[in-house]
């Protein structure tokens, strides 16, 4: 770990010191979101120290013109950027005309931040001594409403401690913002109007190129010792900024508070000409309810989420804090209520990875959402890709494929590819496999086959076509090969016969054909419709199967393992443990060629295949591969430790599983990869959930039944989780020596625990 | 070929039609240069049609900030840009107040351009009918003086044909220029002053960042029917522009001419505060001599170059035109008089390939300059790299190498790497081999061993160290391997055990060790100095040799060829002739992944090794490899056809050799690769020279003797060339059935012709 300042706590993320060097990290860690918008933990008042400002609106992005030295045919014309949105949180605070700025204060004491995950709010408090020697106590609480997802709420109070003072609150909204990652301080927002109505303010702005229309709004109320004040503010209006100044004298020991309501209305939800009207309605409702009622609603909304999604861990507060941090941020990022949205790798906590959707969604996030939400949420995520099928076909055409073959983009906002490194964009094609696997996984878990004849099979056919065309025949090997790919381990580029890619390609074709056959026999009408629409013939299917059956897998007889790719054994096989620690992380220390020719693995690659297709291999085979590859794995991808934790648990290596669990669950809290200041790793947080449920709990679905092989790390006294399985909720509570199962539902359910069938009945505790 | 409008002519490049669609191509083809500056064939007068403006000053570049989506450690911070320099050629022409603009004229007739290569000038003439119905005849001649390499000269005349007219010449200089390849119309020039002295004008400007100081200057003289006019011009001066307007009435049939002198003085040659003074001196001398005398000097200067460098071909005017075009542009680009300069792949004809020095210089250009100039020119080119040794060591350190290992940059202006594609910058490491080979080649040809103990060995040691560290041991193969490289064929990236790279790595080490041993026995003092300076021990040398002796070479028993790289035989081996022509050139039609997994070869790769190390292989082996690889070669690099022409000639396949010869010599004239509008391929022009001298002439140097195996394509009656060999000049004249040798020198010379030793004496024709 690289940071160790977060105070362990079961339900809260807590920081108890003000350290300018860790402000950016904390801005990430204490981020808040509500699925529709997000806000880094930037201070409301001025701050002149190093900071990374970030306000984000779901689905609002910018197609930045890409510029690379040497253009390659087929590159997309833009690289999507997560956009820093107009700021709604700002409140300048002047105390006897000195601006409050923690970077400039003489003294800052009792500084505390708390992100209360149980109730969904962020608190900050401190005592500060200003340059003018006035001492003040400041308390700030804010949250993004789950109930009203266009609304954010702030309560900000100042108490002068050593003298009376004139205090001015100057709440503002501002659209003159830039992205931290912009190359030349480019502006991405075009401000259309700045307007005021009484004590409300509105800035209408649209994004350039994409023309997303937004209205950023605010209104404020002042309180003197909880008594509402009616002060007419001075208004300061500029081309991209509007501020109201409220000034009053505050006696020593009294408290002046401001409640600021703000947020965004966007044209995804309203007519673009009605955004101010919609904003007014939000403000009216917010004022009517008031801060306390809104906060109470927030607590209740989070209580409903936790009731289903919580995982408890007893006896290990850091582990408990870690898993809740993961579950909390996943729910802040994506609630599954809008099928047009998806789960960005950094959620609403940073700009990096400029697109919202990666294969992370299918490979890592879907199991979490299937088990902790209604299954319609997972189906929404599948439909997101179904809706992008035509664009995936066009994407494949740009790369020379034909006949309806689809290559889903590596990174996308709207179905188009928006990333341009040839080794990723063109070659990291295994992503197509994850999209097919998610369809399989959804059906396996939910038992809902209807998605496949209705929509999924069209996606599968297009993917099977891609693999059929992408494989080529090697006369030298007398096998089909897949040349020039990047596997999940992105520390290898343009390799031949990546085992994972070849394996999932074969699986995709075979799974597609199985479904075609099933639909032919069970869903005749759908079958005819789909075959006609796809212009698919039996002879084409036969051609696919020839490739699937004839595909090559590199294998080492000596090591008894499949090789990650052709030539893997030519590397200098020096394990990570033998590597000088000063060289880590290698992605920050080594040039790319050195990384590529090394044996080091960024994240599970061959082992990712063993995770997806566990049933295809024996435990002995898993062990062979784990022991061969894990020692070369640097886990510099956030997606790596969770898969390794699950596999270590399966192999009964509980200490190793526990270490990987801590690494995945506290990846950001402890900043393992030196990058938390850039934002959090949201999608891997779903992997953390899997490492408990699938890893320690050993949960699988086999033949339409939930199965468990519960294990518990020796560091824990007990842990529990709930899963929603086919409209019933199973609560699993694992203690040392026994496991309790409870069913919230209406029908008896057979589950399999350690190989034995157990019947559980509604509201009846079963202990195994 | 893709263009076919250049009129065949032995000594001139001629165009006889005005076609706006080919203006950009002609601007490249008719470029002029004098080693110190260059000028695309842009029109002097206004032109509102598509054009690519380019004026270039040798050694003046800009370090453009590189921006790629995903930065890699070790990337240089800048990408060098060839800079479009302030314009000195402009002359606006107004006829009865209408600006002459060929794109807007009612009619353009008798349009002709001629680039007279024998005498080094560019002529343009046409009759134009303006919108105002005036008909004029225009004749323009210009050249860049070889004698005074800061000076360009233009004679521009207009004759009104159908009425008298008021004619205004408005010569100007202008520093408000941009690069065509700038991403955002960035300005790269900072104008410092615009000044006037009588009828002279000066713009001082410096490049941003690099701070090259330049003065662009001009002065003009007017003539009415050859009689000098004294018109006081109107002056129009702006922040980056100064123009003088000379107006007069011209009677129908009379001629108004302007002689414009212009050019650049630069701080490479003068104190930066003396650039205007230096410019005045150039103008004074130019005016004193006048247009005619300057032109006469130009003819004489070019006559001296041609006397040594010319190749004559009888019976094939297109072939003759092609080779002279190549020799002419090489001499326009680099004359060998300034060791700080080098040979850019596009010379002074375009912006692309933003650096001046590639491995092209060592692999292709040095033989031409060795044979057609004094050998000090080639030695200058070697010293250029010696002077960059420390930067090459730093470059290697950035990539993790140590102990004085050097990696010369792929692209450079000042010794630093200035290109950032990881697959090229970090992996196309074979360039190091060419730099060592040039040292070997220089010694082989000139017999001058002194360079090696004085300077060359230090370079060789640093290169040997690089290869020793770059190779790794494969326990699987029990051999040393070189993983993750890009060979000369850039249509493969990140491959393992590229045969060419492995071969030249081995050769570099062995050649270095041979030289160390020779210097130890023959140059004791140098030996001690070098070994101490390099901190080199015998045991380190032993380690090198272990790698050299143990290096792996991929080989196919079935095909009896070395494989271009590991896994080459896994490709779909469909030959180029079977490829749909609509897919060519593949680099403009296919996405990069498709190119990479194809078998197609951009330029000689394995065959480049067979070219460099011809003596190491039998003719049968060459034939095997040629027959295996050539059918997959698309020759989409300008450096490809020449090597293939030489090898085809060696194999006695004269038709094939001739086809490749035409392709290399007329690559730009006939625009084989659809890109002449971007500029010419200068460095490959030296390959064209080799394809005659080494290919058809069969010239080699073996054991300090020139050897020849003359052949002649059936399309030719005869051809001749001269080479400067160790301070004597040998003229070779090959006819059908016999070859004449003549020696211009003082000492008898033994040469070997078709295996037989022949003695040639000064001024005594020998016929074989």
* Interface residue B69 vs chain A (CB under 8 A): yes
Instruction: Give yes or no for residue A292 having a pLDDT over 80.
Output: yes
* Interface residue A8 vs chain B (CB under 8 A): no
How confident is residue A71, by pLDDT bands cut at 50, 70 and 90?
Answer: low
Range scoring the smallest mean pLDDT among A598-607, B179-188, B528-537: B179-188
Residue B115, beta-bridge partner list = B13, B122
pLDDT, position A76:
74
> What mean pLDDT do residues B233-244 have?
96
* Contact across the interface for B596 and A494, Cβ inside 8 Å: yes
pLDDT, position A184:
59
Q: If DSSP states are collapsed to H, E and C, what string results for B671-686?
A: CCCCCHHHCCCCHHHH
* Interface residue A66 vs chain B (CB under 8 A): yes
Rounded to the nearest 10 degrees, the angle between the axes of helix B457-470 and helix B375-387 is: 50
Nearest to B76 by CA among B482, B479, B398: B398
pTM for the model: 0.93
Buried b (16+ CB within 10 A) or exposed e, A183-213: eeeeebbebbebeeeebbbbbbbbbbebebb
pLDDT, position A69:
54
Q: Which residues contact A451 (CB under 8 A, 6 or more apart)?
A: A379, A382, A439, A442, A443
pLDDT, position B187:
83
* Interface residue A557 vs chain B (CB under 8 A): no
B556 to chain A: closest CA residue:
A476
What ipTM was predicted for this assembly?
0.91
Whether B602 has a binding-site annotation, put simply, is yes
Q: Are A174 and A199 in contact, with CB atoms under 8 Å apart? A: no
User: Contacts of residue A567 in chain B, CB cutoff 8 Å?
Assistant: 483, 496, 566-567
How confident is residue A68, by pLDDT bands cut at 50, 70 and 90?
Answer: low
pLDDT, position B70:
60
3-state secondary structure (DSSP) of residue B208? coil
Active site residues of B: 490
Q: Are B432 and B511 in contact, with CB atoms under 8 Å apart? A: no
Q: Which residues contact A311 (CB under 8 A, 6 or more apart)?
A: A323, A324, A327, A689, A692, A693, A719, A720, A721
Residues B426, B432: Cα–Cα separation, whole Å? 12
Q: Are A497 and A551 in contact, with CB atoms under 8 Å apart? A: no
Residues B353, B307: Cα–Cα separation, whole Å? 32
pLDDT, position B38:
96
User: Contacts of residue B587 in chain A, CB cutoff 8 Å?
Assistant: 73
**Percentages (nearest 5) of helix, strand, coil residues in chain B:** 35, 25, 40
Q: Which long-range contacts (CB under 8 A, 24 or more apart) does A370-373 make?
A: A370/A441, A370/A442, A370/A445, A370/A446, A370/A724, A371/A445, A371/A693, A371/A723, A371/A724, A371/A725, A372/A308, A372/A309, A372/A327, A372/A689, A372/A722, A372/A723, A372/A724, A373/A308, A373/A335, A373/A336, A373/A724
A586 to chain B: closest CA residue:
B73
pLDDT, position A268:
93
Q: Per-residue pLDDT tens for A532-580?
A: 999 999 999 999 999 999 999 999 999 999 999 999 999 999 999 999 9
Residue count of chain B, please give it.
768
* Interface residue B478 vs chain A (CB under 8 A): no
Nearest to A325 by CA among A14, A35, A52: A14
Q: φ, ψ for residue A720 (rounded to 5)?
A: -145, 150
Residues A71, B677: Cα–Cα separation, whole Å? 18
Torsion of CA B93, B99, B103, B107, to 10 degrees: -90
Q: Which residues contact B126 (CB under 8 A, 6 or more apart)?
A: B18, B102, B108, B109, B110, B111, B112, B137, B138
- Cβ-based neighbour number of residue B284 at 10 Å: 13
Q: Are A425 and B593 in contact, with CB atoms under 8 Å apart? A: no
A76 to chain B: closest CA residue:
B591
User: Contacts of residue B573 in chain A, CB cutoff 8 Å?
Assistant: 475
Residues B695, B658: Cα–Cα separation, whole Å? 10
Which helix (H) or strand (E) covers residue A172, if one does? strand A165-174
Q: Are B501 and B429 in contact, with CB atoms under 8 Å apart? A: yes
User: Contacts of residue A592 in chain B, CB cutoff 8 Å?
Assistant: 72-74, 422, 426
Residues A590, B482: Cα–Cα separation, whole Å? 18
Q: Per-residue pLDDT tens for B371-422?
A: 999 999 999 999 999 999 999 999 999 999 999 999 999 999 889 998 888 9
3-state secondary structure (DSSP) of residue A46? coil
Q: Per-residue pLDDT tens for A637-652?
A: 999 999 999 999 999 9
User: Contacts of residue B571 in chain A, CB cutoff 8 Å?
Assistant: 472, 474, 483
- Cβ-based neighbour number of residue B77 at 10 Å: 12
Instruction: Give yes or no for residue A392 having a pLDDT over 90.
Output: yes
Instruction: Walk across the sheet containing A705-708 and list its strands.
Output: A700-702, A705-708, A749-753, A756-760
- Cβ-based neighbour number of residue B171 at 10 Å: 30
Token code pair at residue A751? 């589950």
Residues B722, A293: Cα–Cα separation, whole Å? 97
- Cβ-based neighbour number of residue A137 at 10 Å: 17
Residues B626, B321: Cα–Cα separation, whole Å? 29
In this complex, the residue of A70, A399, A475 whose CB is nearest that of residue B594 is A399
Q: Per-residue pLDDT tens for B166-196?
A: 999 999 999 999 888 776 567 889 999 999 9
CA A510 distance to own-chain centroid: 31
Nearest to A713 by CA among A690, A697, A727: A697
Q: Per-residue pLDDT tens for A308-330?
A: 999 999 999 999 999 999 999 99
Residue B170, beta-bridge partner list = B92
CA distance B193 to chain A (A): 28
Residues B226, A565: Cα–Cα separation, whole Å? 77
Domain boundaries, chain B: 31-309
Token code pair at residue B237? 């001066």
In this complex, the residue of A69, A472, A591 whose CB is nearest that of residue B68 is A69
Q: φ, ψ for residue B37 (rounded to 5)?
A: -155, 165
Q: What angle do CA A359, A599, B471 make, to 5 degrees?
A: 135
Q: What is the DSSP pairing of strand A200-207 with strand A700-702? A: unpaired
Q: Per-residue pLDDT tens for B627-645?
A: 999 999 999 999 999 999 9
Q: Per-residue pLDDT tens for B41-56?
A: 999 999 999 999 999 9
Q: What angle do CA A301, A302, A303 make, to 5 degrees?
A: 90
* Interface residue A575 vs chain B (CB under 8 A): no
Please count the helices (runs of H) and the strands (runs of E) in chain B.
21, 33
Residue B78, beta-bridge partner list = B65
Range scoring the smallest mean pLDDT among B75-84, B88-97, B401-410, B499-508: B75-84
CATH 2.60.120.10 fits B31-309, yes or no: no
Which helix (H) or strand (E) covers residue A205, if one does? strand A200-207
Q: Are A213 and A266 in contact, with CB atoms under 8 Å apart? A: yes
Q: What percent of chain A has pLDDT over 90?
A: 89
> What mean pLDDT do residues A361-387 have?
96
């Amino acid at each position: 770990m690289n940071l160790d300042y977060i105070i362990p706590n079961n339900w809260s993320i807590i920081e108890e010191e003000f350290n300018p060097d860790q402000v950016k990290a904390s801005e990430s860690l204490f981020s808040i979101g509500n699925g529709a918008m997000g806000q880094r933990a930037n201070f409301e008042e001025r701050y002149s120290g190093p900071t990374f400002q970030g306000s984000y609106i779901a689905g609002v992005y910018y197609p930045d013109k890409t510029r690379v030295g040497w253009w390659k045919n087929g590159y997309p014309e833009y690289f999507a950027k997560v956009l820093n949105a107009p700021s709604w949180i700002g409140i300048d605070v002047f105390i006897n005309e000195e601006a409050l700025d923690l970077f400039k204060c003489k003294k800052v004491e009792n500084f505390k931040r708390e992100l209360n995950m149980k109730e969904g709010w962020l608190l900050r408090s401190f005592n500060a001594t200003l340059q003018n020697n006035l001492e003040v106590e400041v308390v700030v609480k804010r949250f993004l409403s789950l109930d009203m997802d266009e609304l954010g709420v702030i309560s900000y109070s100042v108490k002068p401690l050593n003298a009376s003072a004139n205090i001015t609150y100057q709440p503002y909204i501002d659209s003159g913002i830039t992205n931290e990652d912009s190359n030349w301080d480019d502006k991405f927002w075009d401000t259309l109007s700045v307007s005021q109505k009484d004590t409300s303010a509105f800035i209408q702005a649209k994004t350039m190129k994409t023309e997303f229309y937004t209205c950023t709004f605010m209104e404020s109320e002042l309180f003197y010792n909880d008594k509402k004040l009616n002060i007419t503010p001075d208004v300061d209006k500029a081309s991209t900024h509007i501020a109201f100044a409220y000034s009053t004298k505050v006696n020593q020991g009294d408290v002046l508070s401001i409640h600021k309501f703000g947020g965004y209305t966007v044209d995804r939800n309203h007519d673009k000409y009605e955004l101010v009207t919609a904003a007014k309605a939000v403000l009216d409702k917010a004022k009517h309810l008031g801060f306390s009622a809104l906060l109470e609603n927030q607590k209740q909304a989070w209580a409903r989420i936790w009731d289903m999604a919580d995982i408890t861990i007893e006896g290990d507060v850091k582990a408990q804090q870690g898993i809740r941090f993961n579950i909390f941020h996943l729910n802040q990022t994506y609630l599954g209520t809008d099928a047009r949205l998806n789960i960005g790798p950094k959620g609403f906590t940073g700009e990096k990875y400029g697109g919202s959707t990666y294969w992370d969604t299918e490979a890592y996030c879907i199991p979490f959402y299937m088990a902790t939400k209604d299954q319609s949420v997972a189906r929404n995520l599948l439909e997101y890709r179904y809706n992008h099928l035509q664009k995936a076909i066009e994407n494949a055409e740009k790369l020379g494929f034909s006949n309806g073959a689809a290559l889903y983009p590596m990174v996308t906002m709207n179905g188009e590819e928006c990333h341009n490194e040839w080794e990723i964009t063109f070659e990291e094609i295994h992503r197509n496999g994850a999209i097919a696997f998610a369809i399989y996984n959804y059906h396996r878990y939910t038992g809902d086959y209807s998605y496949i004849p209705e929509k999924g099979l069209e996606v599968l056919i297009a993917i099977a076509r891609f693999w059929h065309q992408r494989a080529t025949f090697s006369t030298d090997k007398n096998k089909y090969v897949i040349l020039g790919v990047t596997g999940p381990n992105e520390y290898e580029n343009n390799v031949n016969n990546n085992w994972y890619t070849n394996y999932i390609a074969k699986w995709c074709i075979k799974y597609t054909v199985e479904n075609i056959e099933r639909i032919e026999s069970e869903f005749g009408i759908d079958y005819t419709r789909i075959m006609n629409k796809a212009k698919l013939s039996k002879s084409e299917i036969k051609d696919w199967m020839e490739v699937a059956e004839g595909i090559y897998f590199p294998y080492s007889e000596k090591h008894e393992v499949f090789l990650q790719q052709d030539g893997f054994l030519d590397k200098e096989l020096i394990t990570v443990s033998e590597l000088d620690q000063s060289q880590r992380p290698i992605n920050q220390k080594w040039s790319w060629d050195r990384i590529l020719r090394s044996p080091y693995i960024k994240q599970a690659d061959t082992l990712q295949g063993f995770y997806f297709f566990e049933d295809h291999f024996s435990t002995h085979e898993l062990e062979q591969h784990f022991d061969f590859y894990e020692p070369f794995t640097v886990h510099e991808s956030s997606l790596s430790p969770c898969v390794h934790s699950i596999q270590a648990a399966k192999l009964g290596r509980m200490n190793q599983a526990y270490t990987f669990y801590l690494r995945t669950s506290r990846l950001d809290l402890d900043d393992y990869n030196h990058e938390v200041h850039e934002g959090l790793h949201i999608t891997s947080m779903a992997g953390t959930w899997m490492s408990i449920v699938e890893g320690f709990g050993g949960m699988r679905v086999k033949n339409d039944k939930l199965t468990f092989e519960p294990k518990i790390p020796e560091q824990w006294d007990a842990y529990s989780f709930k899963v929603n399985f086919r409209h019933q909720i199973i609560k699993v509570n694992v203690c040392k020596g026994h496991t309790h199962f409870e069913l919230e539902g209406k029908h008896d359910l057979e589950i399999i625990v350690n190989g034995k069938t157990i019947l559980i009945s509604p509201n009846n505790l079963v202990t195994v």
